[in-house]
Amino acid sequence: MITTLFRFKGGVKPASHKDESAQVQITQAPLPSRLVVPLRQSAGGTPLPLVSTGRRVLKGERIGAPEGNFSSAIHAPTSGRVVAVELRMLPHPSGLSSLCVEIETDGEERWIDLAPVNYEAETPDTLRNILRDAGVVGLGGATFPSHLKLKPGASGCIETLIINGAECEPWITCDDRLMRERADEIARGIAILRHIVSAGRVLIGIEDNKPQAIAALRAAMAQAEGVDVVPVPTRYPAGGERQLIRVLTGIEIPYGRYGTDFGVQCFNVATASSVHRAIDLGQPLISRIVTLAGNVERPGNVETLIGTPIDALLKLAAPRADTDRTIMGGPMMGFTLPRTDLPVTKATNCILAASPALFPLQGDEMPCIRCGACTLVCPAELQPHELYWFSRAKNFGKAQEYGIFDCIECGCCAYVCPSNIRLVDYYRFAKSSMRTLEREKTAADAARERYEFRTARDEREKTEKAARLAAKTAAGRQAAEGAGAVKAAVAPAATAFAEEKPLAALDERKKALIAAAMQRVQSQMAGVQPKNIDNLTPEKQAEIREIEARRVKVRELAKTPPDEPV
Amino acid sequence: MANSPHVHLPISVRVIMLKVLLALVPGIAVYVWFFGAAILVQIALASAAALLGEAAMLRLRGKPLSLFLTDGSALVTAWLIALTFPPIVPWWLIVSATFFAIIVAKHLYGGLGQNPFNPAMVAFCISIIAFPALMSQWPAVGFTDFAAQMHVIFQSQSPQDAVTMATPLDALRTQLHSAAARATVAGILGSHATFGNIGGKGWEWIALAYLAGGLWLLQQRIITWHVPVAFLGVLAAIATAFSLANPDSYAGPTFHVITGGAMLGAFFIATDPVSGATTPRGKLIFATGVALLTWIIRTFGAYPDGMAFGVLLMNLCVPLIDMRTQPPVFGHKDDKRGDDKQGGGTP
């Protein structure tokens, strides 16, 4: 089968450094004594904790329930005892804390009762729910819940399934090793994914610097119809979802739209493998392969339980003495960890030990000379230098007009910038500022709406009250005219309801109380005299006298008995 | 704490500027061969003035001296000034012009990366307006006596007519405009020793050396093809059209492309990233404008060469050109919104 390849514009070719870690087989990381499992490990909401301190959990037991449909479940990676459910710092550039479950492992690795499913007998909806409850999320780094990506979008169906084995970031080899060693797992996962979306065609894109992985997947997919393993040119960021879709199908998915809207969807090879485990074996996603590389003596890949402390894990690779930073992810898009005692999450594809020699800090930032090197390498086909000027000037409207949200933060522009400008930092700043402004605006809009609603309600109530008062006044006048008649009519009716006390007595007592209260009010009113009116003009004083007269009239009116309780 | 990316190409502003300087070396070597070592003195004078002006302005503006003084940008400006000025102008003219370029055209606008006008061309235009006679004082081919040249440069003595002559562009214009003789382009170019084989004795070889340096810059990806191709192409096209229509009054494409500042401008001046357009279409429009203005000023204007004015006038248009030529963003190519950039909305 021949697939015509398309090109994405831009891209760079940094030194790959993959050989160091790609030569060694995947090993199993030792079970740590404690695991810290963050409940928030995917896009969407934070799952609600299902366990509390002291509770014993089994391997694979759900400890976090997906909140709504837009999140994914979290499971205990091994058996043991919950020792804490509390806020802990996450391995995230923000350095923010979120609810984590700390488990003291018991070393027994006792599984829950696994419930494998024959996928061919199940409906796509059931399979999607299983994936959600098994905590399957994209393992390429974005950790988007997989069940959501399997819903057909605007186009109604997903004809082409793209499997991403490009792994374009330098140093990282976890997908490469997975493809070499577990191609059959990936193949089964692909079959399930294909079944769920009934895709006619599957394209597996792998950068052509991984011939063994390509061969392994070709062998594993030999029997499958309509499946192509396509070597794609090695050029960062060929493994970016939109870039790979472009290379394999020619379709460009703009920011804010999803592949499903165009009849394509893309999954990482490791995600496919975890789909297989979730459905065929009933095992939730509790571990992942992590590349340990950089300034280390023994680079390689380790199958790691989620929640394993990163520093303990990195020790397996024996970092060299001059290691000064630890990076999670690759050198192009990874971030420097604020601390190394943070846990491995579903997003941790690589831990890089960094040294000043290996990843030298950039030189001093110079002014932009508009050389256009960034424009040539931008895979989103933006004008990075323009976005830089606008971001720097906080001209966010312009930045947005020039497509700052189309930026995928791949870092190509900053990689080539001769002026050493940390371009991506400027874009992050502009984007987050805009999001904050948007949030503030939404909050302000909500507050204004609330205020307007309340004002309208107060207004309405006031009008209603005035109307009622007017009606009452009118009725009061009538009542004054025929007070005796009304009383005569009311009294017998009321007597009919009275059971214990004679109504007349009650009536008298009430009347006395009311009369007393009225007198008190009257005496108070009499005591209150208009003030500061001595120096007024005669006209003003006349006006005041008029007002006073009106007030007296109102008081008189108020004295007339109401015809019904207010 | 460093953010991503954690790796970086070993490239810097200094490397770019040094490569530009290196690409000028073949042209300078041929220059020396035909017109003597005076040009080296002028380059040295301009470089010294540029660095001095740069240092003074950096200090006044409170900028780090070591970082910016070594970026090479002032030297590029200095060399271009020296190469566009006659090599035997008095020393004070080249020094003050360079000061003006660095202090006014560069630093008063905000320094490196901020100047809307090409500083070297500002220096050229100011000087040719203020000192038209001195700026038209070009050495004759063969006037390579270093001592005599130094005498002209430093003693500010008017050189004898024997050692100066008009440039090919100047000579052509003067003779075409002198009503006395019924001169034709072919007659003038063929009869005069000034004009060499295709575009001026000596000058044509210097231009070819600039072309070689420019092609190397292209190969090094310091510049893109857009500006040189559009500039030389449009200049050749308009020259061809007019010379075909009236070969007696209009010089042909080879003459226009090889002579004057055309080749230096095509690869080294109009390609200045700071003051030029940045989008691919913008670069084409920018270079087309420079070429048209150059030809018009050369043919109908009062100045012998129009390159410098063409560049400055088009520098003025750059913000508009860039704004109106933004290429579509990935995934937004079908969006219909004219030339305006189409980006995504807020998330």
Subunit contact B341:A401, Cβ cutoff 8 A? yes
Which residues 180-219 of chain B have a CB within 8 Å of chain A? none
Q: Which residue of A has its CA nearest to B16?
A: A418
Query: Do B92 and B195 have their domain in common?
Result: no
Model pLDDT for residues A214-223, shown as the tens digit of each residue: 999 999 999 8
Question: Are residues A164 and A269 in contact, defined by beta-carbon separation less than 8 angstroms?
Answer: yes
Question: Are residues B297 and B310 in contact, defined by beta-carbon separation less than 8 angstroms?
Answer: yes
Which residues 305-344 of chain A have a CB within 8 Å of chain B? 325, 327, 329, 331-336, 338
User: What separation in angstroms does the CA of A542 have from each of A529, A546, A553, A556?
Assistant: 15, 6, 17, 21
User: How many contacts, defined by CB atoms under 8 Å, are there between A and B?
Assistant: 174
In this complex, the residue of B276, B341, B345 whose CB is nearest that of residue A256 is: B345
pLDDT attached to residue A526: 62
Query: Do B124 and B207 have their domain in common?
Result: no
Q: Flag whether pLDDT at A401 surpasses 60.
A: yes
Residues of A in contact with B71 (CB under 8 A): 366
pLDDT attached to residue A259: 87
Model pLDDT for residues A258-291, shown as the tens digit of each residue: 888 899 999 999 999 999 999 999 999 999 999 9
**Residue A565: band (very low, low, confident or very high) from pLDDT cuts 50, 70, 90:** very low
pLDDT attached to residue B194: 62
Chain B contact for A13, CB < 8 A? Answer: no
The answer to whether residue B298 sits within a structural domain is: yes
Chain A contact for B11, CB < 8 A? Answer: yes
Domain boundaries, chain A: 19-354, 373-435, 514-525+544-566
Subunit contact A363:B12, Cβ cutoff 8 A? yes
Helix (H/G/I), strand (E/B), else coil: A290: strand
Q: What percent of chain A has pLDDT over 70?
A: 91
Chain B contact for A425, CB < 8 A? Answer: yes
Our count of domains for chain B comes to: 2
Q: Flag whether pLDDT at B109 surpasses 80.
A: yes
Per the model's pLDDT, the better-predicted residue between B178 and A218 turns out to be A218
Q: Flag whether pLDDT at B340 surpasses 50.
A: no
Q: What is the ipTM of this complex?
A: 0.89
Measured CA to CA, the distance from residue B114 to residue B106 in angstroms comes to: 7
Query: Do B123 and B192 have their domain in common?
Result: no
The answer to whether residue B156 sits within a structural domain is: yes
Q: Flag whether pLDDT at A503 surpasses 60.
A: no
The answer to whether residue B82 sits within a structural domain is: yes
Subunit contact A334:B4, Cβ cutoff 8 A? yes
Enclosing H/E stretch for A207: strand A201-207
Query: Do B178 and B158 have their domain in common?
Result: no
Chain B contact for A368, CB < 8 A? Answer: yes
Nearest Cα neighbor of B341 from A237, A256, A380 is: A380
The answer to whether residue B131 sits within a structural domain is: yes
What length is written for chain B?
347
| Mean pLDDT value across residues B138-152 | 82
Query: Do B285 and B142 have their domain in common?
Result: no
Which residues 41-100 of chain A have a CB within 8 Å of chain B? 93
Query: Do B133 and B58 have their domain in common?
Result: yes
CATH top-level class for A19-354?
A: alpha beta
Chain B contact for A356, CB < 8 A? Answer: no
Query: Do B210 and B314 have their domain in common?
Result: yes
pLDDT attached to residue A566: 41
The answer to whether residue B66 sits within a structural domain is: yes
Per the model's pLDDT, the better-predicted residue between B151 and A392 turns out to be A392
Query: Do B305 and B174 have their domain in common?
Result: yes
pLDDT attached to residue A550: 79
| Mean pLDDT value across residues B99-125 | 96
Query: Do B45 and B179 have their domain in common?
Result: no
Per the model's pLDDT, the better-predicted residue between B193 and A76 turns out to be A76
Query: Do B149 and B214 have their domain in common?
Result: no
Q: Flag whether pLDDT at B179 surpasses 70.
A: no
Subunit contact A170:B333, Cβ cutoff 8 A? no
Chain A contact for B61, CB < 8 A? Answer: no
Chain B contact for A11, CB < 8 A? Answer: no
Model pLDDT for residues A20-45, shown as the tens digit of each residue: 899 999 999 999 999 999 999 887 77
Query: Model-level pTM greater than 0.95?
Result: no
Residues of A in contact with B68 (CB under 8 A): 366
Query: Do B181 and B322 have their domain in common?
Result: yes
The mean-pLDDT minimum among A28-32, A69-73, B18-22, B305-309 falls in: A69-73
**Residue A205: band (very low, low, confident or very high) from pLDDT cuts 50, 70, 90:** very high
Q: Over chain A, what is the mean pLDDT? A: 88
Query: Do B301 and B316 have their domain in common?
Result: yes
pLDDT attached to residue B184: 72
Measured CA to CA, the distance from residue A251 to residue A270 in angstroms comes to: 24
Measured CA to CA, the distance from residue B298 to residue B169 in angstroms comes to: 8
Write out the residue range of the structural domain in which residue B59 sits. 11-165
The answer to whether residue B29 sits within a structural domain is: yes
Subunit contact B12:A385, Cβ cutoff 8 A? no
Q: State the nearest Cα–Cα gap between B115 and chain A, in angstroms.
A: 10
Nearest Cα neighbor of A387 from B108, B332, B344 is: B344
The mean-pLDDT minimum among A11-20, A167-176, A347-356, A474-483 falls in: A474-483
The answer to whether residue B332 sits within a structural domain is: no
Q: Which residues contact B87 (CB under 8 A, 6 or more apart)?
A: B31, B35, B36, B38, B39, B42, B138, B139, B149
The answer to whether residue B347 sits within a structural domain is: no
Q: Which of the listed residues B132, B165, B198 is the one where a domain comes to its end?
A: B165
Nearest Cα neighbor of A275 from A287, A283, A265 is: A283
